[in-house]
C-alpha cells in the first residue's frame, strides 16, 4: 500500500461486499474501481516524528467522519446507472480498513436510487437500499452498525468501524411524519431536511425562492428531536436552515459544507448560519466533494482549499464547533457528478464562479486517505493534541450525547 493512507490496518479478513452470495448467480456483479491508489493523490508530507504523532492521535482518539458515501463505483463510470438499478451498493471494506476511522456517518446513495424511478428519493428504494446494505454489514466483522454512542465507543475498543446509517434528506417521508419512527426503527440516526429540490419539509439549495421550514417541517423537526435522530441542514436553503436551527430543541449538524465567504456559491453557507448553529451547540463538518470547497487563494480543489475552509469556520465559531464530513467515495467522484448533474445540484454548487476542473481532489480523494491526511495537515500546522482530538471526533460525540437518547 503506497498511497497516502496509513500502513496500519484494522483486522480486515479480505471480505468483499455480498461475499455470502455467488456473483453472477445470485446478483449481477460489476467490475469495480480500485479502493486504494486509484489515482496519484498525494500524502501530506510530514517528518518521521510527526508521522508517529499522527498515528498516535489516530489510535488514541475517536475518529469520526460526519459525512461519507463509503461505496465503490464501477470501474467504468457509465455503468453506474445499471448498478444503481440493481439496488445493491458495494461497501468499500478494504478502503475503510486503512482509513483510520472508528465511525462513519454513511449517507447511503438515495439521491441516486434508480430502482423504481429516475429521480431518486422514493420510499421503497431507500428502504431497499438501507436493508440491503445492513444485510451485507451483518455478514462480516470489520464494520458494525451503530445506533448509540456506546456502539461507537465499543467499535473503537474492538478494532472495528461503526456505521451510522443516515439520509441526506427527509424527502422519502413525504407527508407521513410517522415514517420517521419507521426509519429510526430501521437504524437511521441522522437525516437532512431537504436536498436540492424543495420537499414537504422545506426548501433545498437549488430553489429560486426559499420559503423556509413548512409547518409539516416543524412537526418533523420536533419528531426527530423526540426520536433521537440528528438533523443535518447541509443541502437546505438558507431560510430553511435558519428556521431548522431555531425550531430544533437540540443542537444540529451541518455535516458537509464550506464557507460562502471564501467561495460564493449556494452550496456554501453564510456566516450567520454557522454562528446560529454554533450558538445552539451544533457542529459544522467540512466538505471535500469535487469542486465545492474552493477558495480564491486555492482555486484548484485540493486538501489545501478544503483546510482553508476549516480554518475560516473554526476561527469564526470556535474549535469546539467544527469537524470533518469529506463526502467522498471510492471511484471517480467527478464522473459521478457529471452523470448525475441534475440530481446532485452541480449547477447550484458551482454557481457563476469560474471553476478550475480537476480529475480528483488531491490529498483527500477517497475515504481511505482523508483522515490520515487531515491529521497530518493539522500536525504540520501546529495544532495541539487536544484540538485535533476535538475536530476528528470529540465534537461530534458531544452533540450525539445530547441528541441521541442513549
| Contacts for 314 with CB less than 8 Å, ≥ 6 apart | 321, 322, 391
Burial 268-302 (b: 16+ CB within 10 A, else e): bbeeebbebbbebebbbbbbbbbbbbbbeebeebb
Q: Which residue has the higher pLDDT, 208 or 305?
A: 305
Range in 122-136, 256-270, 345-359 the model is least confident about? 345-359
Percent of the chain with pLDDT over 70: 95
Output the pLDDT for position 406: 82
Mean pLDDT score, 77-84? 92
Distance of alpha carbon 340 from alpha carbon 325, whole angstroms? 21
Residue 8 predicted with pLDDT over 90: no
Q: What is the pLDDT of residue 11?
A: 84
Summarize pLDDT for 142-184 with one digit per residue, the tens: 999 999 999 999 999 999 999 999 999 999 999 999 999 999 9
Give the pLDDT band (50/70/90) at residue 343.
low
Mean pLDDT of 363-372: 97
Please give the domain boundaries of the chain with CATH numbers for all domains: 61-403 (3.20.20.140)
Residue 321 in grid coordinates: 464547533
Give tens-digit pLDDT for 176-227: 999 999 999 999 999 999 998 999 999 998 899 999 999 999 999 999 999 9
pLDDT computed for residue 380 by the predictor: 98
| Grid coordinates given for 153 | 465507543
What pLDDT sits at residue 206? 87
Residue 2 has pLDDT above 50, yes or no: no
Which DSSP state fits 279? Answer: H
CB 63 within 8 A of CB 100: yes
371 DSSP assignment = H
4 pLDDT above the threshold of 60: no
C-alpha distance across the termini of the chain, in Å: 38
Mean pLDDT score, 283-309: 96
User: Exposure of 384 by Cβ count < 10 A (0-12 exposed, 13-18 middle, 19+ buried)?
Assistant: exposed
Report helix, strand and coil shares of the chain as percent, to nearest 5. Answer: 40, 15, 50
Three-state DSSP at 252 gives coil
Q: Once rounded to an integer, what is the mean pLDDT over residues 329-343?
A: 86
Contact 177, 217 (CB under 8 A): no
Q: Which of 281, 203, 198, 265 is nearest to 237 (CA)?
A: 203
* Alpha-carbon span 289 to 8, nearest angstrom: 25
Residue 369 has pLDDT above 60, yes or no: yes
pLDDT at 345: 59
- Residue 347's pLDDT band, with cuts at 50, 70 and 90, is low
Mean pLDDT of the chain: 94
Average pLDDT (110-134) is: 91
CA 373 to chain centre: 17
pLDDT band at 358 (very low <50, low <70, confident <90, very high): very high
Q: How does residue 114 score in pLDDT terms, banded at 50, 70 and 90? A: confident
pLDDT at 62 over 80: yes
Could you tell me which residues come within 8 angstroms of residue 44 by beta carbon, excluding any fewer than 6 positions away?
4, 303, 363, 373, 376, 377, 380
| Mean pLDDT on 343-351 | 59
**Count of Cβ atoms closer than 10 Å to residue 207 Cβ:** 18
Taking Cα atoms as reference points, which of 310, 399, 291, 400 lies closest to residue 353? 291
Mean pLDDT, rounded, for 375-402: 98
Torsion, Cα of 264, 266, 267, 272 (10° steps) = 80
Q: In which residue are the cell numbers 461507537 written?
A: 152
Amino acid at each position: 500500500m503506497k498511497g497516502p493512507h496509513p500502513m496500519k490496518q484494522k483486522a480486515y479478513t479480505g471480505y468483499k461486499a455480498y461475499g455470502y452470495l455467488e456473483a453472477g448467480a445470485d446478483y449481477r456483479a460489476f467490475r469495480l474501481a480500485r479502493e486504494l491508489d486509484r489515482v496519484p493523490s498525494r500524502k501530506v508530507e510530514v517528518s518521521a516524528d510527526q508521522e508517529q504523532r499522527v498515528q498516535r492521535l489516530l489510535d488514541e482518539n475517536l475518529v469520526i467522519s460526519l459525512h461519507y458515501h463509503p461505496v465503490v463505483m464501477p470501474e467504468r463510470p457509465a455503468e453506474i446507472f445499471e448498478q444503481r438499478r440493481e439496488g445493491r451498493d458495494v461497501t468499500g471494506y478494504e478502503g475503510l480498513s486503512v482509513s483510520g476511522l472508528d465511525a462513519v456517518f454513511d449517507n447511503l446513495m438515495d439521491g441516486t436510487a434508480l430502482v423504481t424511478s429516475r429521480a431518486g428519493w422514493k420510499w421503497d428504494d431507500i428502504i431497499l437500499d438501507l436493508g440491503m446494505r445492513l444485510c451485507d454489514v451483518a455478514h462480516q466483522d470489520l464494520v458494525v452498525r451503530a445506533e448509540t454512542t456506546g456502539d461507537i465507543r465499543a467499535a473503537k475498543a474492538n478494532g472495528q468501524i461503526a456505521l451510522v446509517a443516515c439520509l441526506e434528506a427527509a424527502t422519502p417521508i413525504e407527508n407521513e411524519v410517522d415514517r420517521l419512527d419507521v426509519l429510526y426503527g430501521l437504524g437511521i440516526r441522522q437525516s437532512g431536511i431537504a436536498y436540492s429540490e424543495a420537499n414537504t419539509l422545506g426548501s433545498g439549495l437549488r430553489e429560486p425562492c426559499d420559503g423556509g421550514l413548512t409547518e409539516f417541517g416543524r412537526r418533523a423537526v420536533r419528531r426527530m428531536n423526540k426520536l433521537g435522530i440528528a438533523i443535518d441542514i447541509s443541502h437546505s436553503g438558507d431560510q430553511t436552515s435558519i428556521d431548522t436551527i431555531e425550531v430544533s430543541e437540540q443542537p444540529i449538524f451541518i455535516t458537509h459544507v464550506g464557507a460562502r465567504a471564501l467561495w460564493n456559491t449556494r452550496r456554501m453557507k453564510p456566516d450567520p448560519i454557522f454562528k446560529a448553529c454554533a450558538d445552539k451547540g451544533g457542529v459544522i463538518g467540512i466538505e471535500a466533494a469535487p469542486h465545492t470547497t474552493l477558495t480564491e487563494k486555492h482555486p484548484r480543489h485540493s486538501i489545501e482549499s478544503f483546510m482553508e475552509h476549516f480554518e475560516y469556520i473554526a476561527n469564526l465559531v470556535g474549535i469546539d464547533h467544527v469537524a470533518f464530513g469529506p463526502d467522498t467515495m471510492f471511484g471517480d467522484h467527478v464522473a459521478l457528478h457529471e452523470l448525475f448533474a441534475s440530481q446532485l445540484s452541480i449547477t447550484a454548487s458551482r454557481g457563476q464562479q469560474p471553476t478550475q476542473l480537476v480529475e480528483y481532489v488531491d490529498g483527500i480523494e477517497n475515504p481511505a486517505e482523508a483522515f490520515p491526511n487531515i491529521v497530518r495537515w493539522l500536525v504540520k500546522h501546529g495544532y495541539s493534541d487536544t484540538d485535533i482530538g476535538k475536530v476528528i471526533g470529540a465534537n461530534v460525540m458531544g452533540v450525539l450525547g445530547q441528541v441521541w437518547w442513549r
